[in-house]
Structure 1
Amino acid sequence: MIGQDLGGRYEILTRIGGGGMALVYKAHDVLLNRKVAVKVLRQQFVHDEEFIRRFRREAQSAAALSHPNVVSIYDVGQEEDTHYIVMEYIEGHNLNEIIKESAPLQTDESVRIAMQIADALDHAHQNHIIHRDIKPHNILIGKNGRVKVTDFGIARAVTSSTITQTGSLIGSVHYFSPEHAKGINTGEKSDLYSLGIVLYQMLTAQLPFLGESPISVALKHLQENFDEPRTVNPHIPQSVENVILKAMRKNPGERYSSAHEMLLDLDTCLRPERLKEPKVSFTSINDFDETRVMPAIRGDIRPAAQAEREQPVNPNASEDKHWDEKDMAPKSKGWKKPLTVVGVTLLLLGLIIWGFIWLLGVLDVAEVDVPYVVGKTETEARQLIEAAGLKIEEPVIHEHNQEIPKDQVFSQTKMNMRVKEGSFIQISVSDGPELEELGNYIGKSLQTAIDELGALGITEEQIIIEPVFSEEAVDTIIQQSPKPGEQYNPESAEFNFMVSKGRETVPMPNLIGKRLDEAKDLIKANELTLDEPDILYEPSYLHQKDFVISQDPYKPKDLVSKGAKISIRVSSGPPADAKEHQFNINISPAEAGKTSEIRIVYSDARGENIEWDKRQITSTQTFPVTVIVAPDTEARVTVYRDNQFIDTRTITYDELMKGTNSSTLTIPGEEVQATEEPAQAEVTESNDEPIEEEQQQQP
């Protein structure tokens, strides 16, 4: 059923419960965009026309109920052999689960719950609807504490149809009223008796009547008294016990006259002035449990003498007196006729006696104990039942069950009793959890799989994700477990998805300023791609020839997927119209024989105040400094000695165009400058023709 659409409107999400007659699913109403509960009739009842008619009529009647303590009926429908009822979905627990976990409940909480149930019953009874199956399993408690009574009308259809078909009672025998247990018509007061048992169980954590079989429990409802609530739980106020005692009287006439009267009593039973009121007493003789149903007596039971006296009078009696004397005369009889009569009579008597003995043999069948096979496998159950001289009623009922393992018997008829040898036993066998078939999600996005599985009731805790590097797009499913087409249990299955997180990434290396061959090695080592058409050459004043100028589209340290393509720009050297000039700087230390620190800075087409080098000298040395001059610009070299400015020299592009390829700048030591006249420095051209130079001023 899970994943199906009923009526083109109700999308079945997950199974949330079930009973002997129907299964309950959580569904999504796509038209009104809300969660609903869908009760689906079990398949073994779908061909019973009388049951279907009652089921639908009662469900439609219950749909007329509108009360805050009654689960609302939204829709009733049929799709092929599927009969369903759509009702309000309650987020919470049923009262039976709360009793198992927390009973005995606090008195005020128990009374509050019972009041809401009584209010719901009062509304139903006023609309001429009797529940007939009030029990904790049919009482839902929402997360907000609101009590909701469910299954109105369904109990009536189930009970009447089942009694008609099998002659036995179906339902929760522990909550039966005595009149229900006897199989006679039940009325509104039967619901009040069941409500009294529910209140008893909430306050004592036990049921008033227990037995080894449903029949024994039903007989106790009819014939035995129960332990009074205060003997089980002394903390129950007398006023509350009085409510239970009155609701559970075996004689309906001694119970509350209506659900409204019981509601009013519950509403005041916890008032301080009532808590210690006298114990309720009943003056009438309760002989309801002494009633016996006698079998009907059929046939004529009049005394023989009376029957003889009532024989019809023969109108011809007077004529009989005038018999002919000849007829009265004795006739001679032969010996053969009496012998024949005796023989025939003896033969008939023998046949009658033989037939009687045969009939006794047929009717007097030995009784055997019915073996208890619940919990056994179907094969073991068959062997035990057949070994006891009994038979399996075919077909065996097979149903999906979340709690019972596959092929295990979870129910049987005629438990804990003796039956005639050869009797039929019906068993119900679990088919295990209802399995779903997993679709193929390989190649689809992870969110698609999560959404589709979530619609089937799968939680995110059941989905395990393993991210891996892959050529596929991010969040694409690469592998899945279970595999496509495999069946799984939605309640317990785990789903493993291997999901792509894209290609593996590496930090982008810094290629700028690297030689071309060195850059290629870095690209290869990081599993990146550089094609020859992506190597672009361009002139550069800043970078030497074959050195990388820039890289695209990724900057250094960007995370890049392996295999990604990049492009680089490589210097082809200075532009063709650029000119080079070499300054030969001949410099001496400040004092002869002592160490001086020389620092040379130049400015040209590559930039301003570029540090050429810093050296330690103890004697006169020559340092060649090459500059590049762009058209309409100039280059300059500046010399510092011992952190003091010494001299600067400039060369223009126009001067280089005249053939000046190199020049010499001589800087003597301080001692030389002190003993000699200032000399004029020379700038020597490559053609050895001296040009005039400005006088260098020493600091």
Structure 2
Amino acid sequence: MIGHDLGGRYEILTRIGGGGMALVYKAHDVLLNRKVAVKVLRQQFVHDEEFIRRFRREAQSAAALSHPNVVSIYDVGQEDDNHYIVMEYVEGQNLNEVIGERAPLQASEAVRIGIQIADALDHAHQNHIIHRDIKPHNILIGNNGRVKVTDFGIARAVTSSTITQTGSVIGSVHYFSPEHAKGINAGEKSDIYSLGIVLYQMLTGKLPFLGESPISVALKHLQEPFEEPRKVNPHIPQSVENVILKAMRKNPVERYGSAHEMLLALEGCMNPDRLNEPKITFTSVNDMEETRVMPAIRAEMLPDAGKERMEAAISSNTDTQLIESEEEYVKPRGWKKPLTVVGVTLLILALIIWGFIWLLGRLDVAEVEVPYVVGRTEAEARQMIEAAGLKVEDPVIHEFNKDVPIDQVISQTKMNMRVKEGSLIQLTVSDGPELEELGDYVGKPIQTAIDELTALGVDDKRIHIDRVFNEQTPETVLQQTPGAGEQFDPETAEFTFMVSKGRETVPMPNLIGTSLDEAKDLLKASELVLEDADILNEPSYIHQKGYVISQNPFEPKEQVVKGSKVSITVSSGPPKDAKEHLFNIVISPAEAGKTSEIRIVYSDARGEDIEWDKRQITGTQTFPVTVVLAPDTEATVTVYRDNQFIDRKSITYEELAQGADSSTLTIPGAEPPPTEEPAQAEVDETDEEANQEEQQQQP
């Protein structure tokens, strides 16, 4: 079967279990893209028509059950000789495996499991379905802790052909009720007895009855008492033991009246005020197989036919005296009365037969094929079902399903079969994926929204954030889409949040060294505030009067919120005790008629080695260099020509105090060398003229 596409829809993946009647496989429903469990009837039963008929009928009945603790039946079908039932696939273990690994279980856990089983049985019994095979193998425990009861109705399909099959009837004999073991038609209380044995096994780790053969175990159910649970496990609360003792009474009358009554008992047995309640007692011991003294049967107590048989038996006795004595009790009878009784009886039988035939005629409704509507919209499914002469059972079941689009049919009852016209078809329709309600995140940190949405399964790639300048605290949500209270699918929904990044900022301009008017213009352009009270003045050797010395509280290029207030300090000029001195630098080019580069550097109260200027000259020029001196300081001016140090001049504050307001530094050019030697006559003539001039000048 593995790898086979059953019914062209269910791809068999692997075998996950089986019993004497069927094998269970894990499969993939290619139509709805989900995992399912498929139970396939064993081949040795495929030719037992009675078995197949009852198998399908019970499977259809179980499909009518809709309960969180019942394994849902999705489909019933046949392919060639393969009869199968498609069920909900539960990821987890069955209770038998749990008991084998961890029994005895804690009382609270066993009661929790028992409550869910009782709830499932109560739902089934209300729908007139008896399980008849409650045992740990048929109870599944999902990975989420949810208990699911499976194989509802299948036990009813057992016939005489299966009584010897290992794993079916024989395999369940340890959980049989006494009436079931005796062959009496088992009812709701038979399931209650079996649930009591399951509770017993969970809490003790053992079965109440064991034997060398199934027959011996069945006889113990009928005749022998079992060891009480608290004798096996003293940690079981008395209230829990009382539930088991009552559920496992051999006489059905002394058990719980219904699965609902047992459910209520289980729900309350772990209450602190009940844990140590008195042990339950039963006033009448009236078990089914108890030995009783029966009264003698006399002839007068027998019906007419019995009396006649008794007379015949007596007449065959050779003891004449005994016959004579018995004749006192058997009086001769006439023939009229029996004839009347027979006639009336025949008439009644004729009326019954006629009525039965008439009723069959009324009930003989044409059969129609049930249309397959899974995957259709609810409106389409209704139209197809009504067109086939059938009816949709109301109300339609709606459930969330992330794999099936909204308004599409997930499953239907009575598939792949013919039914009477007018029959009801139950539909289960998808409400789409289960939606969540979006919270209100406006005014909250964006991280709160991200954390809560990702916890619901939202991919953070579908959370979009738009940051804007705002008066709110940075990272605060301002707007959200979708809005608060709207429903959304965590697997597909997209989210957009407008988030504050605080007030808008600008880079702080560099005001130092600018004039006051320039500083005001720069601050105004950056939307920063400078009030008159925030303009401070102080003397400065370094900055000219009216120029900015410093700015507060923001450094240049620092990001500042628009509208922030700024204060500045402006120079009021040098201090009052400062003195100025003018150096007149008279300098000639290195060679007359040629260009020289002049560079002047000074040091005073404003700083060291301040470059005054650098110029090109072709003739003698005078450069005024003003220096500022503070008390007890000295000012120096240094001259470079053609990148060579030429001269330096200094003056002290004390010298200025004596009235020296200015001084001159003269730097001549170099004298050009002679181009040629003069003639002797010219030298003599020149010397003679010079001597004559000198003599004329003398007095």
The TM-score with structure 2 as length reference comes to: 0.50
Choose 1 or 2 for highest CA Rg.
Answer: 2
